[in-house]
Amino acid sequence: MKRNLFILIIVLTAICGDTAAQDLKEKVSNYFQLHTAYPQEKLYLHLDKPYYAAGERIYWKGYLVDAVSHIPYTKSNFVYVELINRDDKVISKHKVRREQGGFHGSILLPADIPAGEYYMRAFTQWMLNAGEDYFYYRRLRIGNALDRSIQSAVRYEDSSREGYCTAVIRFTDETNKPLSGIQVQSWLTVMRKKAERYSRRTNAQGEISFDIPLAEKQDRERAIEITFKDDLYNYDKTFYVPLLGDRKKEFALSFFPEGGDLLDGSRQRVAFKAQQKDGHSCEIHGSLLDEAGDTITRIRTEHDGMGVFTLLPVAGQKYRVKASLDSVMYREFTLPEVKTKGRQLSVTHRKGIIQYNILKASQEQWNDTLYLVGHTRGHLTVFLPLTSDRASGRFRETELSEGLTELLLANSSGTVLSRRLVFVVPEELVNLDMNPFPELPERRKLVEIPLRFTDLQGTPVQGVFSVSLTDKSLVIPDTLSGNIRSDILLTSDLKGYIENPGYYFLKRDARTEYNTDLLMLTHGWTRFRHDNIAELPTIQIDYFMEGGQTVTGKATTMFGGKAKGCPVALMAPSQGISATTYTDEEGNFVFDGIEYRDTVTFVAQARSQAGLSTVFLRVDSLPYFSPHNPFPVIAEEDRKFQEYDNMVRNAYLSEGGMQVVRLNEVTITASKRDANAFSSVYGGLADYRATGEELRRFGGSTGYDILMRVPGVRVSGDLITLSGQTRAPLFLIDEMRFEGEDAVESLRGLDANDIKSIEIVKSVSAGFLGPEASAGAILIMLNTGAEVKAKASPGLTVFTTQGYNKAVEFYHPVYETLAQISNQKSDVRSTIYWNPALNTDADGKAVIRFYTPDNLVKPHLIMEGITAGGYLMRFER
């Protein structure tokens, strides 16, 4: 009888265990289904080349995909693309609409753009819900050989002062003649705040010098800003200070015990990563020491500053690593505390097999069932129950999807105890049939290159590709940097800066597999953060997928109540837009499907149901995430990049562009100009003009403060007048008209950093602006993305917003006639061919056609694309 009861208990326990496991699996499945039901987006930009020079256009193709499936069909029809400098100031911002071939556009680089480090940022309105960590980022180097009238260079020498070095800056003209006797104002900035001021006059060698401290906590953020104080020249430049002296030998060492913690009594792997103060990885070597200082093992970085060692932790012991860059200066780093309780996950990923094992601390009791849960970008792929006698196992990586999979160790209530990342490299599923590049014929001849795409069974593959053909002798391909595969499969799902992401896709060998696993050990999951996978997450949506352009807002009564059922009219005369709608029960209104381009000023007007102007309107605007450069400093320019910069300069000047001459009072720049220039549409009437950057040098935080510095403008309380006038002028802020108190209030609320330029139009010329400008006019242009807030008045609001930009097509020269072939205008190109939307036909075929340039070309082809099923393709020839 007792034996039968014992058997019954075992059976019931097994049944209950199966039921509990099934119940948890259902909850976990629901958890991840909710994540996939709430779509996230990934965005990637393919550029025509990796670096650029002043006067060129950056041509790009945008790939927008579902973050889980990577299928390129999302409901967002607009993307935002920004070019940002190293000081995190937006240089250019574009809104681009989806066309038949997807998203594509270009950014014109002005002739006077400073050479240096830039980055691009791209996102959709829907991506704002997840935050800026999920935006697309890309680093760029931009040169400027057009700006040669003044050349400057800095070097750092030893100083007689302890703890300092001497910065020596030399100035020459375009013939390399020293600029002597020039008064130069210099500032040392730390974290973009001015710390030290230096005033020097250049000597006979065109040099100035001053001492700067060696030791700063934020070396990456230090810079030297210089400005000429001279009657002839107008010049300013920023030099970013590198690591100096012994700071070059300093580094930080971070430790990542596999599974999360160091567990007493469990032999485990501990990964580590070494980084210098400038954010770049470094190669170090050293020793792992116990509390007594005895060496446990030698350690060494193995790939991009990453390494791993094995340790059997003992409770109460304190471990440290003593390491060095150069075997001279050593630094010590302490490992995390050893835990006596805990269970966590250990994984070995080799040759397509994933082996898992559960580690247990010495004082941890294991009487319950744990679960190994795996998901690939939110798609559930693994669910395995684990017990103390079934604490290890294996499965093939083919059971997972390509890309990043997060393995979680959870208890029966769904609480995540430990986590581990693994990466599955995608298989090559598409073949490109393409003949080797022919010897390019003589200049200005037609070349046709047939292509055919098939799968592994020879079935034609249809898709849309972006294609870039460059001159390899001028544009050196960087096989280690990001591409469509590394960005969408890897970096978009990992937290932190990934150095050389393209490396992990170059080869399928044991060394690459090992180094990829090092990367998994030293980086954390970001796209989904799971603490309890049995409880449905709360998902907040503040911004919708932008299928069409909309204007939304809310109407309230004079006492703050909901103005429901009120008519709202929207007008933009410059775009011929006129529409009417009604507010809903909550007072909200929506104008949908509005077609407008570029920057547009709208007037919205509302009335109560009785027809009275007793309704206040508030128009919604997108939040602005201040840019932050996620990349370490780019190394010094190499010789090949300088050759490329010079080539672009010669081509630009031969096409009629002008080099920059930095004379005082006027800056002569290239004749090619972007439509988004400093001047307003009435700039031809201006009697005085200054850029916001020039005026901000004299201080001030608001538009009101800045006007106090403008010659010929008198500011007294709420009255602003021009010289010789007693009445207030007309104000046009981004072409919006303001008068009287409204103008003053708007200026006080305007950030000085948002001002691009200020123009003064005196009364005679201002007559063209209407009778409101009889006392003159002040024209203020704002930087891209900046807005002016009009004073709220009952029933009426005026606002400016950004519409989409029309794409500029890449110019492919055509040489069909004798006259075209014999044209004396030079045709020197670094990008020979760019097509953001090359379509294959039903047979998987396409043809690239272009005419050869005048320069001898070593062709280099890069093609990227996505199939309808979400397979990422990249071909390089």
616-672 pLDDT, tens digit each = 888 887 777 778 888 887 655 555 556 555 665 555 555 544 444 444 443 333 333
279-294 confidence digits (pLDDT tens): 889 999 999 999 999 9
Lowest mean pLDDT, pick from 133-142, 463-472, 611-620: 611-620
The share of the chain scoring above pLDDT 70, in percent, equals: 87
Residue 15: its pLDDT value, please?
Answer: 44
Residue 319: its pLDDT value, please?
Answer: 97
CATH number of 151-231: 2.60.40
The CA–CA distances, whole Å, from 303 to 283, 495, 516, 715 equal: 8, 18, 9, 62
* Res. 678: pLDDT tops 70: no
186-212 confidence digits (pLDDT tens): 888 887 777 888 999 999 999 999 999
Is 579 within 8 Å of 588 (Cβ atoms)? Answer: no
Q: How far is Cα 212 from Cα 227, in angstroms, rounded to an integer? A: 18
* Residue whose C-alpha is closest to residue 121's, from 629, 802, 783, 675: 629
Residue 262: its pLDDT value, please?
Answer: 96
Q: Does domain 41-141 have CATH number 2.60.40.1930?
A: yes
421-444 confidence digits (pLDDT tens): 999 998 888 899 988 776 766 888
Q: What pTM does this model have? A: 0.81
Residue with more model confidence, 579 or 745: 579
* Residue whose C-alpha is closest to residue 639's, from 874, 445, 476, 528: 476
**Pairing status of strand 777-782 against strand 730-733:** parallel
Q: Residue 248 CB: number of other CB atoms within 10 A?
A: 17
Residue 784: its pLDDT value, please?
Answer: 75
Structure tokens at 446: 């037609």
725-737 confidence digits (pLDDT tens): 888 888 888 877 7
Query: What's the pLDDT band for 344 if we cut at 50, 70, 90?
Result: very high
Which strand (E) or helix (H) includes residue 134? none
Section 689-717 average pLDDT? 78
Residue with more model confidence, 101 or 337: 337
Q: How far is Cα 161 from Cα 330, in angstroms, rounded to an integer? A: 25
Residue 666: its pLDDT value, please?
Answer: 38
207-261 confidence digits (pLDDT tens): 999 999 886 554 457 888 888 866 677 778 888 887 776 666 788 999 999 999 9
* Res. 17: pLDDT tops 60: no
SS3 789: coil
Is 375 within 8 Å of 404 (Cβ atoms)? Answer: no
* Residue whose C-alpha is closest to residue 43's, from 444, 397, 546, 416: 546
Q: How far is Cα 850 from Cα 830, in angstroms, rounded to an integer? A: 13
Highest mean pLDDT among 79-93, 333-347, 514-528, 721-735: 333-347
Residue 14: its pLDDT value, please?
Answer: 44
589-624 confidence digits (pLDDT tens): 999 888 888 878 788 888 888 888 788 888 887 777
Residue 788: its pLDDT value, please?
Answer: 67
Section 18-24 average pLDDT? 77
The share of the chain scoring above pLDDT 90, in percent, equals: 37
Tokens 């300093």 appear where?
250
Residue with more model confidence, 565 or 87: 565
Q: How far is Cα 779 from Cα 764, in angstroms, rounded to an integer? A: 15
Residue 845: its pLDDT value, please?
Answer: 93
* Res. 347: pLDDT tops 90: yes
